[in-house]
Chains A and B, each alone.
Chain A
Amino acid sequence: MVSPLDRKLLRDLWRMKTQALAISLVVAVGVMLLVMMSGLVNSLDETRRAYYERYRLADVFAPVVRAPDRVLTSLAGIEGVSAAEGRITGSALIDMPGSDLPVQARAVSLPDFGQPRLNAVYLSAGRWIDRRRSHEILLLKSFADAHGLEAGDILSATMHGARRSFEIVGIAQSPEFLYTTAPGELVPDDSRFGVIWMSRTAMEAAYDLDGAFNEALLDIGREEDLPSVLAAADRILDDYGAVGAYGLADQFSNRFVAEEIAGLRASSAGVPPIFLAVAAFLLNIVISRLLQAERQQIGLIKAFGYTNAEVTAHYFKLILTIAAGGAVLGCLLGLAAGAALIGVYVQYYKFPFLVFEIDPASFIIAVSASVAAAAFGGLFALRRIFALTPAVAMRPPTPPDYSGTGRFGGLLKRVLDQPTRMVLRRFVRHPGRSLGAIAGVSAGMALSAGMMTVLAGFDEAVETTFSVIDRSDMSVSFIEPLPDRTLHALAQLDGVIEVEASRTIPVILRNGVHSYRGGVSGITSGARLQRAVDANGQALTLRGDGIILTPALADILQLQTGDRLRADIRQGRRPQLDLVVTGIAESLLGAPSYMELSALNRALGEPNRVSGTYLRIDPLRRDAIYAALDAMPVVAGISVKQDAREAFQRMMDNGAGAMRFVMAAIAALITFGIVYNTARIAYAESAHDLASLRVIGFSKGEAAFVLLGELGLIVLLALPAGAVLGYGLSHAIAAGFSTDLYQVPAIFSPDSLGVAGLAVLAAAIFSGWMVKRESDRADLVSALKSRE
């Protein structure tokens, strides 16, 4: 048996269904995002963890030049190390049929018998390699997919200067290569970097490393042991040309995945509360209004003997129904969206399997957070029930008190007509609500503007990186440092317009407790193709005893121009240099540092050496140049700038980068929700006044001015506030999106502010049109007969 009060509740809900639905939807979107994103993050995190564990991904990677196998025993003996594995890796160039440009690849050894102890691979198609057949290889699945290669296909590759044919017997996946990037590049690209697995015997022969390895993998039991294990490994491997051991956190593929998941996690924590706050705000206003309109009924119910608590509970149920309805809808939508998206993400991250895990806690958190937010918003309004005595409630309502809003005198009186005064007084009478609406609309606009500014920032990042800093057409890396006269040979190639030397050396930069492992680029002073430029795009001058850092690097190392740092060069005779920071150069990708090439070579004791070169070429001669480079045994890799640029753009448009679009859409949704609800509330409150105005002889348009004036005023005030807020927010968002791998510049983008402003105006016009239509249709007589 439904109690009469509950029936009233249902009818009230039905009467205010559009309003209730609007609020429920705001709640639903918040809950949906919470459930979906926390489900995604949990599933991805859990899948990654399980994948790493099942395929025994190493905790420590220690590349060397050449170390005999017996050294492994010493490595295994380091305290805290639970497993050690030696393997051979080397660079390779794969010739793709139909393309003049060879693709860079990495060859990795597998034990002759069975899976390696560390860094196992998952065979997704074909069969395992036979150690007796040195031409058999496994190929990385993402690369194979990108080129349509399958088990049974033949592949031609150059290793260590020798070209051979290989048979792909299996397609493999590995947690080590979720993301693949060509050396010297930072942006993952499945198609432009391959991984080949071969038997240890075949690798020893190909890279001339009989009975030796050039990369040690270590597994450690406890995370805390990492620093001491790294130090011990470096000590042991020092004599064998150690470049420097590093942990999983610095492993490229893992770092990329980890950062993307962390980004998702941050969004999942930050966005949903905004929606719930908006919902609470709206509920507060709507419930206040409802109580005002129903004060007579409340008095009646109380006169019948219902207690304050019972009446409060009645209205609280209304709030709960709206909030819980939205929350349940949000949970369902979140589940559906999560299930739909997780497949996309699993594919994007290239996990061979999926551990789907939606934490039940996320439902509980989502539902209780939305109910709590709604209750918080509603309870403030419900306090009024206690203040109403039956007698007061039964008397006709006194008109809302505007005496505190000011009598206009003097000049204002002459300037403002009556409808304008009505608009202004309504606005002033509820300062909290007016300011809340302004804050909401401007926050929504700021979020939109901020997101769009960041989108524009990405575009500028691409432009600066690929047009201002790097003005070459392609870069070539050599298998080992070569005398710089090699460049003369390149310069003679038909179609090569400009050649510029470069040398990149692994280095650890240190400033006290701060350190960074990376590469230092030696470039010639007066470089024209690859330059260190300041924020204004002006080339920075290099100094023999100096180093130029990028903002991200300066931040990591806590250094400024004029400070000194220590550079541990991890190649050749491994000098330790004391350098002064002579400038900070713009960089949007990675965290490079620059030194003067001849100074770097002097420090290494290897004058006139280059490890690579930047070329500017005649596009008409491109294919011939590719072919000529491909034929040079010293060439380790060729990177075409246009390809890198496109890969970067793809990364920005997909995956975690795509979250920008989701955020922009969310911002638009919030803005619209607030604008529309503001309009609806204004209409509900002024319906009676509007009817009176129409009776007096105001036309529909004139009456609408009073209705929409308040909305217009709110929007008008919100626009500049939103613009200022958006500009500030864009810096925060840019910083949030920036990682070690790429920096997003915070720029001033008037276009973004303009578009966001126009979106707010469009939302206001649409909302205004909706309520005006309703107001135009209202029945004047019945509106006036009711006592509000």
Chain B
Amino acid sequence: MTQNAFTTKNLTKVYGEGETAVHALRGVDLDIPAGEFVVLLGPSGSGKSTLLNIIGGLDRASGGQAWFLDRELTAMSDRQLTRYRRDHVGFVFQFYNLMPSLTALENVELVTEVAEDPMTAEAALAMVGLSNRADHFPSELSGGEQQRVAIARAIAKNPTVLFCDEPTGALDSETGRTVLTALRDVNERLGATVLIVTHAAATANMADRVIYFSDGSIREVVRNPTKLSPDEIEW
């Protein structure tokens, strides 16, 4: 039996208090096996991004517990969370969040300089097919290229897990496919657990496991034995 990358027990998150309180997570119990490609689906405000942020070490839970492997994330200090993000986690966001003042290669080097056991920045760029754009600044790259640099930056540290929040949200379908292909490659070649939050239901077809969110809870978890490649997905 494979080890779980993440386990949560009765995880809750409440924003605000009193009458205006918003219950973003209402007691989530979840196991995510290591090395899987997982897609989180659900309408806006259903809690999927909140879960991603908590187990990604960006936000704190209001109640319950969450573990990364055998370490309890919900008990970690700020400093420990920083360490966790630095050593194990890669992030990809809808709006890339590249440093405009660094070239593509330098954006990746930003991570390889501080990570424990990184690949070379050049190798990371090669994985997303951007070796020829290494010396360009973000302002000189297209949206898809910027997102692939963001992915290269996220994978360069050889992360244990890769979190992606709407990675294709700002891209056209062709570029989206390229980005998804890059993510799948990371999953398969590096063995990293990949978690993708998305509105695009079609993405679910390439996942090992699909988790449906609704109103702060998990409605359903579906295992998908017949993974499609990104090229086969209908958008």
Complex interface bits, B88-99 against A, C-beta within 8 A gives 1, otherwise 0: 010101010111
List A contacts of B200 (CB < 8 A). Answer: none
Taking a contact as CB atoms under 8 Å apart, the answer to whether A697 and B113 are in contact is no
Question: How many residue-residue contacts, CB under 8 A, span A and B?
Answer: 97
Those of A690-731 within 8 Å (CB) of chain B: 691-700, 702
Taking a contact as CB atoms under 8 Å apart, the answer to whether B99 and A422 are in contact is yes
Taking a contact as CB atoms under 8 Å apart, the answer to whether B100 and A697 are in contact is no
Given A418-B110, A696-B85, check contact A405 B58 (CB 8 Å).
no
Task: Give the distance to chain A from B104, nearest Cβ to Cβ, in Å.
Answer: 11
Task: Give the distance to chain A from B166, nearest Cβ to Cβ, in Å.
Answer: 10
Complex interface bits, A359-401 against B, C-beta within 8 A gives 1, otherwise 0: 0000000000000000000000000000000000000101111
List A contacts of B170 (CB < 8 A). Answer: 396
Taking a contact as CB atoms under 8 Å apart, the answer to whether B111 and A696 are in contact is yes
Taking a contact as CB atoms under 8 Å apart, the answer to whether B106 and A418 are in contact is yes
Interface residues on B, range: 35 or more
List B contacts of A422 (CB < 8 A). Answer: 99, 101-102
Taking the complex as formed, is B70 at the interface, i.e. its CB lies under 8 A from any CB of chain A? no
Task: Give the distance to chain B from A423, nearest Cβ to Cβ, in Å.
Answer: 8
Taking the complex as formed, is A407 at the interface, i.e. its CB lies under 8 A from any CB of chain B? yes
Taking the complex as formed, is B123 at the interface, i.e. its CB lies under 8 A from any CB of chain A? no
Closest to A403 in B: B137
Contact of A784 among B87, B95, B110, B137 (CB under 8 A): B95
Taking a contact as CB atoms under 8 Å apart, the answer to whether A426 and B101 are in contact is yes
Q: How far is the CA of A697 from the CA of B99 in the complex (A)?
A: 14
Given A418-B110, A421-B106, A781-B53, check contact A697 B101 (CB 8 Å).
no
- Tally of contact residues, A, Cβ under 8 A: 34
Q: How far is the CA of A422 from the CA of B115 in the complex (A)?
A: 19
Task: Give the distance to chain B from A391, nearest Cβ to Cβ, in Å.
Answer: 17
Task: Give the distance to chain B from A697, nearest Cβ to Cβ, in Å.
Answer: 3
Q: How far is the CA of A95 from the CA of B29 in the complex (A)?
A: 101
Taking the complex as formed, is A224 at the interface, i.e. its CB lies under 8 A from any CB of chain B? no
Taking the complex as formed, is B139 at the interface, i.e. its CB lies under 8 A from any CB of chain A? yes
Task: Give the distance to chain B from A112, nearest Cβ to Cβ, in Å.
Answer: 89
List B contacts of A401 (CB < 8 A). Answer: 100, 137, 139-140
Task: Give the distance to chain B from A405, nearest Cβ to Cβ, in Å.
Answer: 7
Q: How far is the CA of A780 from the CA of B91 in the complex (A)?
A: 13
Task: Give the distance to chain A from B68, nearest Cβ to Cβ, in Å.
Answer: 14
Closest to A429 in B: B101
Taking the complex as formed, is B79 at the interface, i.e. its CB lies under 8 A from any CB of chain A? yes
Taking a contact as CB atoms under 8 Å apart, the answer to whether B95 and A787 are in contact is yes
Closest to A698 in B: B114
Given A402-B137, A403-B137, A403-B140, check contact A418 B95 (CB 8 Å).
no
- Give the interface centre of A402, A418, A426 by most chain B CB atoms within 10 Å: A418
List A contacts of B100 (CB < 8 A). Answer: 399-402, 689
Taking the complex as formed, is A223 at the interface, i.e. its CB lies under 8 A from any CB of chain B? no
Contact of B139 among A402, A694, A696 (CB under 8 A): A402
Taking a contact as CB atoms under 8 Å apart, the answer to whether B113 and A784 are in contact is no
Taking a contact as CB atoms under 8 Å apart, the answer to whether A399 and B137 are in contact is yes
Q: How far is the CA of A567 from the CA of B115 in the complex (A)?
A: 86
Complex interface bits, B21-56 against A, C-beta within 8 A gives 1, otherwise 0: 000000000000000000000000000000001000
Taking the complex as formed, is B148 at the interface, i.e. its CB lies under 8 A from any CB of chain A? no
Taking the complex as formed, is A517 at the interface, i.e. its CB lies under 8 A from any CB of chain B? no
Those of A400-425 within 8 Å (CB) of chain B: 400-403, 405, 407, 417-419, 421-422, 425
Given A399-B137, A784-B93, check contact A695 B85 (CB 8 Å).
yes
Taking the complex as formed, is B103 at the interface, i.e. its CB lies under 8 A from any CB of chain A? yes
Task: Give the distance to chain A from B159, nearest Cβ to Cβ, in Å.
Answer: 10
List A contacts of B79 (CB < 8 A). Answer: 699
Given A407-B103, A694-B82, A696-B111, check contact A399 B95 (CB 8 Å).
no
Complex interface bits, B129-164 against A, C-beta within 8 A gives 1, otherwise 0: 000000111111000001000000100010000000
Taking a contact as CB atoms under 8 Å apart, the answer to whether B97 and A405 are in contact is no
Taking the complex as formed, is B122 at the interface, i.e. its CB lies under 8 A from any CB of chain A? no
Q: How far is the CA of A787 from the CA of B136 in the complex (A)?
A: 21
Taking the complex as formed, is B199 at the interface, i.e. its CB lies under 8 A from any CB of chain A? no
Taking a contact as CB atoms under 8 Å apart, the answer to whether B58 and A421 are in contact is no
Taking the complex as formed, is A528 at the interface, i.e. its CB lies under 8 A from any CB of chain B? no
Taking the complex as formed, is B59 at the interface, i.e. its CB lies under 8 A from any CB of chain A? yes
Task: Give the distance to chain A from B44, nearest Cβ to Cβ, in Å.
Answer: 12
Contact of A780 among B58, B107, B138 (CB under 8 A): B58
Taking a contact as CB atoms under 8 Å apart, the answer to whether A688 and B97 are in contact is yes
Task: Give the distance to chain A from B165, nearest Cβ to Cβ, in Å.
Answer: 8
Q: How far is the CA of A784 from the CA of B165 in the complex (A)?
A: 11
Q: How far is the CA of A700 from the CA of B115 in the complex (A)?
A: 16
Q: How far is the CA of A401 from the CA of B87 in the complex (A)?
A: 31
Taking a contact as CB atoms under 8 Å apart, the answer to whether B110 and A696 are in contact is yes
Closest to B141 in A: A399
Closest to A780 in B: B58
Closest to A422 in B: B101
Taking a contact as CB atoms under 8 Å apart, the answer to whether A402 and B101 are in contact is yes
Q: How far is the CA of A398 from the CA of B142 in the complex (A)?
A: 9
Taking a contact as CB atoms under 8 Å apart, the answer to whether B97 and A418 are in contact is no
Task: Give the distance to chain A from B211, nearest Cβ to Cβ, in Å.
Answer: 20
Given A400-B139, A418-B109, A697-B82, check contact A692 B114 (CB 8 Å).
no
Q: How far is the CA of A418 from the CA of B156 in the complex (A)?
A: 15
Taking a contact as CB atoms under 8 Å apart, the answer to whether B91 and A696 are in contact is yes
- Give the interface centre of A400, A422, A429, A695 by most chain B CB atoms within 10 Å: A695
Offer 25 A-B interface pairs, CB within 8 angstroms, sorted by A.
Answer: A396-B95, A399-B98, A400-B101, A403-B137, A403-B140, A405-B101, A407-B103, A418-B99, A418-B102, A418-B113, A421-B101, A422-B99, A422-B101, A422-B102, A425-B101, A689-B99, A689-B101, A692-B99, A696-B85, A696-B114, A697-B85, A697-B111, A697-B157, A780-B59, A784-B97
Known contacts A399-B138, A426-B101, A698-B86; 14 additional CB pairs below 8 A are: A399-B100, A400-B100, A401-B140, A402-B138, A407-B135, A418-B106, A418-B109, A418-B110, A418-B113, A422-B102, A694-B82, A697-B86, A697-B157, A698-B114
Top 3 A-B pairs, shortest CB-CB distance:
A697-B86, A399-B100, A399-B138
